[in-house]
Amino acid sequence: MLQVTINGQSHEFADGLTINQALKQLAVEVPTLCHDDRIQPYGSCRLCTVEVKGFNGLVTACNTQLRAGMEILTHSDTVNGVRKTLLGLIAKDYPAEAVAQFPDKQFHRYLREYDVKARGSRTAPQPAVPFMKDTTHPYINVDMTQCVTCYRCVRICEEVQGQFVWKAWNRGDQTRIGPVRGETLQDGGCVSCGACVDTCPSGALEDISILKRGVPTNWAKTICSYCGTGCEVNVGTRNGHITTIRPSMDGPSNHGHTCVKGRYAFDYITAKDRPLSPMIRRNGEWQKVSWTEVNQFIADKLREAAAKHGPDSIGVLSSARGTNEENYVAQKFARVVLGTNNIDCCARVCHSPTAAAMKMTLGTGAATNSLDDIALARTILVAGVN
């Protein structure tokens, strides 16, 4: 354990933390504009600077290791003054309308906390090296006039999604974030995971659904229903409609990330052709019926088929979108109630090679470890991929 003094109070911390990780354990917040726990510390914005007694100059909390005996000041006049100056430089040409429209964005919150005004405007003419604007993506709006050049989008796309869509072009005050090739996000190879939107602290990258429907007024934590991975998500709603779905940072199987389906494919909920009650087709017409009636109808048809052609004339297909328990019940129903072994699941089509190989090597055709165990492994052998 390390003994460290923070803002005059002595604390003990485990070895191996950065200063910022230690501060988080105490719920002491310093502004971290270029940092996101899902990606490696970068140390470019310098807003997280703190004073450490005996050190020459200020140190950045996000990428400095905590050491025994450190005496740290997080909000001295010196560091607050540096933060205010740095924020003022970033806010010099930053559109004030963006701050008013989305006051809760991370960067906008920092401006408020350090009493710094954004002095730019959305109607200002584009500079000689223009900022990217892209309205062609189906889910993401890009307006780089709001970019604070934190590189979080570039890094999260590389480190978390492995997609390398973004690139920092040019240098100095002409630095511009844009797609690695072409003009649009889709030209750059975006697969719409939404990670860059989640991490963007300013709203330069934003969900189109939020721009259209407004910021959520309610959040509900739930599990994505698309597949069996069990990604934890936060569903944001406004006026009874979903405006966005964001990955939960502490989801054990997704750790703050989702695929395109879990992140953006939620409009089916209000699709006009979505059946909202059970239906039976009679004389070529679909008729709405009660659950009691439809269950009786199915039971009668199954009995009729089994009596006429035997139980093996029936097959049951279950789904990877069901839980393990639901799939277990489906096979019990097939074997015990219907009397057939004709039971299958769509997961077998995708995963039969992996399941067979894992059964041979590990003894069971399923994962034998959690995702966290993979991060802790000293050696990883990857087979069958390029």
- Work out how close the CB of 201 gets to ligand FES at its nearest, in angstroms, rounded to a whole number: 10
- Residues numbered 144-163 forming contacts with ligand SF4, rule: CB under 6 A: 147-153, 156-157, 161, 163
Q: Return d(Cα 85, Cα 63) in angstroms, integer.
A: 21
The answer to whether the beta carbons of residues 233 and 252 sit under 8 Å apart is: no
Residue 345 engages ligand SF4 in binding (rule: CB under 6 A): no
Residue 23 engages ligand FES in binding (rule: CB under 6 A): no
- Work out how close the CB of 32 gets to ligand FES at its nearest, in angstroms, rounded to a whole number: 4
Pick from ligand FES, ligand SF4, none: which does 148 bind, CB < 5 to 8 A by kind?
Answer: ligand SF4
Go through 206-220 and write b for each residue having 16 or more CB atoms within 10 A of its CB, e for each that does not.
bbbbbbebebbeeee
Pick from ligand FES, ligand SF4, none: which does 235 bind, CB < 5 to 8 A by kind?
Answer: none
Q: Return d(Cα 366, Cα 228) in angstroms, integer.
A: 12
Residue 43 engages ligand FES in binding (rule: CB under 6 A): yes
181 Cβ contact list (under 8 Å, min separation 6): 187, 188, 189
Based on CB atoms, which residue is closest to ligand SF4, 74 or 258? 258
Tokens (6 digits) for 263: 């992140």
- Work out how close the CB of 85 gets to ligand FES at its nearest, in angstroms, rounded to a whole number: 14
Dihedral in degrees, nearest 10, Cα atoms 206, 211, 212, 218: 90
In the set 34, 79, 147, 193, which binds ligand FES (CB under 6 A)?
Answer: 34
Helix (H, G, I), strand (E, B) or coil at 143: strand
The answer to whether the beta carbons of residues 50 and 73 sit under 8 Å apart is: yes
Q: Binding mask 54-93 vs ligand FES (x if CB under 6 A, - otherwise)?
A: ------x-x-------------------------------
Bridge partners (DSSP) listed for residue 288: 279
Contact range with ligand FES by CB under 6 A, out of 33-41, 178-186, 243-251, 295-303 = 33-41
Residue 204 engages ligand SF4 in binding (rule: CB under 6 A): yes
Pick from ligand SF4, ligand FES, none: which does 245 bind, CB < 5 to 8 A by kind?
Answer: none
Fill in the DSSP letter of residue 272. T
Q: Return d(Cα 138, Cα 152) in angstroms, integer.
A: 21
Q: Nearest Cα to 248, choosing from 227, 273, 270, 219?
A: 219
In the set 33, 111, 156, 334, which binds ligand FES (CB under 6 A)?
Answer: 33
Residues at the interface with ligand FES (CB under 6 A): 32-35, 43-48, 60, 62
